[in-house]
A and B are shown apart, each in its own frame.
Chain A
Amino acid sequence: MSDLTIAQRILGAEVAVQSAPYFPRKKKAITGRSIAIIVFLSICALFFCIPLYVVVVTSFKTMDQIREGAIFSFPTTWTLEAWDHAWNTACSGIKCNGLKVGFWNSVQILFPSLIVSIALSMITGYALALWNVRWAGAFLFILFICAFVPFQIIMFPLISMTATLKVYGSLWGVALIHAILAMPVLTLIFRNYYKDIPQEIMSAAIMDSGSFWKIFVEIILPMSGNILIVILILQITSIWNDYLIGVTFGGSGTQPMTVNLANLITISTGTTRYNDNMAAALQTAIPPLVIYFFVGKLFVQGITAGAIKG
């Protein structure tokens, strides 16, 4: 899990707590001060874009041009050679089958861990928020603590357990660990979302002889669209971007894309092909970036919808 993953997930909860409905102010006339602010913000934005720009142009350059050393310059001849190399023949350890191996591994890790973690934490959150469980408070507190535990302290026991279950070093093992580690935070988010469902709805549903599962499927699930989208996006990006779990629990040939990328760039033998490295970095970054640029709005909408309820 990357170091900001937890924080990133808390962001969901945090913004939900803090953001108030947003009233646009009247359009103001352009003053000297607003120009100064916009100029400053644009310079900052430029600083934020530099690494992306450099990575993109480098990935299209030939090694000959890179050796000339002008890092900011445009490629003189645009070539897809590096992209092809990185995808098909880049080395990760002793195998040289490119990042496509890691890409498909990441995809295969993504789906089972999404399904397991969301199903598990959704039902747990629902039970804790809306049903009378006497020890719910204590359990929530423990979950809250678990959400912040550093991975290193549970690393070896989890390795041993997955080894006993014969999933250590397989894609299923990586997916399982993702699901387990995400459970506390996701449960807290779901529980916070469900706790605002009025008690009257629940009483009425129970009177209507609705059972635990029936109420979940017929009432709760249809109400969960917003929160599901938010959590789906958070989970997809954090599982995709994870390195530590992938490198610890994935065996040779079953490692996610980020691990392939790290192996490629830290390789110490031979001449480093920087354009391959940059193309590989971009290939790893594209899926979460696509999600971010296309559904980023939806993501914010989901959060604010949760906020208005809370």
Chain B
Amino acid sequence: MAFRWSRWSPQLALVPAVAVTAVAFVGAIIWTVYLSLTRSRRLPEYEIDWSQWTRQYERLFKDDSWTLSLQNLIVLGLGSALAIVFGFILAAMIDREKRGESLFRTVFLYPLAVSLIVTGTAWRWLFNPQYGVEHALHSIGLTWVNASWLATPETAMYGVIMASVWQSSGFYMALMLAGLKSINSEIWSAARLDGVSLWRLYTEIIIPMMKFTFVTCAILLSLGVIKAYDVIVAMTNGGPGQSTYVPAYFTIQALSGKGNLGYASAAAVMMLVITAVIFLPLVLVTAWQQNRSARTAT
């Protein structure tokens, strides 16, 4: 009897998790997709006018601020990619020069421990046009410097990029460091014996060997960029004007700012589509990696 009971217990123990997944994730996604086809404004309406069920999406793609959000998303993605490059350089240097490893690691990783709202607050202050870094540089004679990036629409996005690179470089450094340490130490001595230059060693051997780490970093970065919301709120609140709108901000603005549920749902569905486009390679890469490690293990 005890044995039979133990056959059913695991399934019973899984009921809460399955229920949560079915209701809060799968059900909620279907709900939002459905809402995006309706004319819901402030309150949900559940009637779909099938003659024009794509109206929310059509409106979305004609909306200039959505187009701007997408452009900003790409700018933010490309700019934040600097964090991967920077992270790799830091990791490579820390890995070569073991002295002070734990100190440098602690310093480079601490921004990750604090909230993005705090990060945004700090950088908003540094970029302050009146009393910020610009003022300090001007007072020592560097009057040509323009560091109040957040105040003008053309440069506001760069300010956001600066803060996110500062925040996330340490994270990519940690991933890269783990990748570097898993490289067989014989490669280093073999390269030294062959007299391979350091530059060629990295560009032709180490980086290709770490391509999986790089791909993982790139995917994690893209997924992070789509979710970028907190840092925008803390630094610019979408402004000046709408110059720092990103899809995550646009969607929430459409829901809680404009109270347009159907429209916000359509934007959220587009966010899901973008995530899926990035996510698909992740699944493939993971499968490929598992395949490879299974092969090397045998």
Interface residue ranges, A against B (CB under 8 Å): 1-4, 6-8, 10-11, 14-15, 18-20, 22-25, 34, 37-38, 40-41, 44-45, 47-52, 54-55, 58, 66-67, 69-72, 120-121, 123-124, 126-128, 131-133, 139, 142-146, 148-158, 160-161, 180, 183-184, 187, 206, 209-213, 237, 240-244, 248, 258, 261-262, 265-266, 274, 277-278, 280-281, 284-285, 288-289, 291-293, 296
Contact = CB atoms under 8 A, between A and B. Distances in A.
17 contacts: A8-B112, A11-B175, A20-B181, A37-B96, A45-B103, A48-B108, A49-B107, A55-B121, A126-B13, A127-B11, A133-B11, A152-B264, A155-B255, A156-B32, A157-B24, A158-B28, A161-B28
B104 interface: yes
Interface residues of B, number: 109
Contact of A19 (B26, B31, B178, B272): B178
Nearest to A283: B118
Classify the interface of chain B: helix, strand, loop or mixed. Answer: helix
B275 to A, nearest CB: 6
Contacts of A131: 9-10
A291 B113 CA distance: 9
Contacts of B187: none
B25 interface: yes
A71 B104 CA distance: 25
Contacts of B252: 152, 155, 244
B124 A265 contact: yes
A148 to B, nearest CB: 6
A180 B24 contact: yes
Nearest to B169: A48
B130 A69 contact: yes
B230 A15 contact: no
B18 interface: yes
A243 B233 contact: yes
Interface in B243-269: 248, 251-252, 255-256, 261, 264-265, 267-269
Given A123-B13, A150-B227, A157-B28, 12 more contacts: A15-B175, A22-B181, A37-B97, A45-B104, A71-B125, A132-B10, A150-B272, A156-B261, A183-B17, A212-B10, A244-B229, A244-B252
Interface stretch (B149-157, B199-207, B216-224): B216-224
Contact of B126 (A49, A54, A145, A184): A54
Contacts of B225: 3
Contacts of A278: 121-122, 125
Contacts of A54: 122, 125-126
B17 A24 contact: no
Given A14-B175, A149-B272, A152-B267, A206 B125 contact: no
A90 B252 CA distance: 26
A70 B246 CA distance: 33
Contacts of B125: 54-55, 58, 71, 274, 277-278
Contacts of A258: 115, 117-118, 230
B4 to A, nearest CB: 10
B39 to A, nearest CB: 15
B269 to A, nearest CB: 7
Given A45-B108, A48-B107, A149-B275, A69 B234 contact: no
Interface in B86-130: 90, 93-94, 96-100, 103-104, 106-126, 128, 130
A14 B178 contact: yes
A139 B44 CA distance: 31
A305 to B, nearest CB: 15
Interface of B: 2-3, 5-6, 9-11, 13-14, 16-18, 20-21, 23-29, 31-32, 35, 44, 90, 93-94, 96-100, 103-104, 106-126, 128, 130-133, 135-136, 139, 166-168, 170-171, 174-175, 178-179, 181-182, 185, 213, 216, 220-221, 223-231, 233-234, 237, 248, 251-252, 255-256, 261, 264-265, 267-269, 271-272, 275, 279, 282-283
A183 B220 CA distance: 19
A284 B181 contact: no
A136 B11 CA distance: 10
B158 to A, nearest CB: 16
A241 B115 contact: yes
Give the interface centre of B104, B122, B128 by most chain A CB atoms within 10 Å. Answer: B122
A2 B256 CA distance: 19
Contacts of A25: 98, 185
B14 A124 contact: yes
B115 A18 contact: no
A10 B174 CA distance: 12
Nearest to B227: A3
A144 B283 CA distance: 9
Contacts of A143: 21
10 tightest CB-CB pairs across the interface, nearest first?
Answer: A212-B9, A241-B115, A157-B28, A131-B10, A292-B113, A154-B28, A3-B227, A124-B17, A51-B122, A152-B268
B122 A72 contact: no
Contacts of B283: 144
Contacts of A23: 185
Contacts of A121: 17
A213 B21 CA distance: 23
A261 B14 contact: no
A15 B178 contact: yes
